[in-house]
Amino acid sequence: MALAQAVFGKAFPFGRRIVVTDLCGLGGTCFVCPGLGRQILVNLGGRAFAQPTRCCNSTYHAPGKLLVHELAHAWQIAHGHYYPRVWRRLLAGPNAGDAFYRPPPSLSPPWAALNLEQQATVVDEWFAPGRLGPDGWAGSPGMSPHHPYWDYVCAVIQDEHGGVSDDLG
């Protein structure tokens, strides 16, 4: 809860609405989906479920980065950003590759123009800069207000209205 609050602020759907499970999808991938009665299932698989704030792998190199990425998808569902683009994500499959996840270098399109994985990557790269973020930021301290993705995190992700009223899309 503390990690989610630090990243998403008051805009995160706290309480019993988020249910973290040890399920995983094809190829062992983590996934997020709606559950019964407005619940959002965050399925991390066995390893990440056991230690969600400490789990790391080659893609999500920093403790908590995988969890932040998947919580970004929960945020998308809670704020209505998920369903308009879910088919494109499903068609990409579990091994969509870096290009599907990497935000554009300039991040000039409005937020809504980014696909689901690019939006989640914006959040996880701001949280813990790595190889899919802006040039020169990999390995630098996370959650910086100087990071190129901060404007999106502040104006869209942390906005209690889910960014729908801002000019970032």
Q: 106 near 98, Cβ under 8 Å?
A: no
Q: 142 near 129, Cβ under 8 Å?
A: yes
Closest to 125 in 3D by CA, of 116, 133, 136, 117:
133
Q: 53 near 70, Cβ under 8 Å?
A: no
Give the pLDDT confidence score for residue 165 in this predicted structure: 40
Give the pLDDT confidence score for residue 169 in this predicted structure: 41
Strands 40-43 and 31-34: antiparallel
Give the pLDDT confidence score for residue 105 in this predicted structure: 84
Helices 116-127 and 65-78: angle between axes, nearest 10 degrees: 130
Give the pLDDT confidence score for residue 160 in this predicted structure: 75
Residue 22, φ and ψ in degrees, nearest 5: -105, 20
Give the pLDDT confidence score for residue 83 in this predicted structure: 63
Residue 67 CA, distance from chain mean position: 8
Instruction: Examine the pLDDT at 22 and tell me if it is beyond 80.
Output: yes
Cα–Cα dist 103/133, whole Å:
7
pLDDT digits (tens, 9 = 90+) for 101-133: 889 887 776 788 888 889 999 999 999 999 999
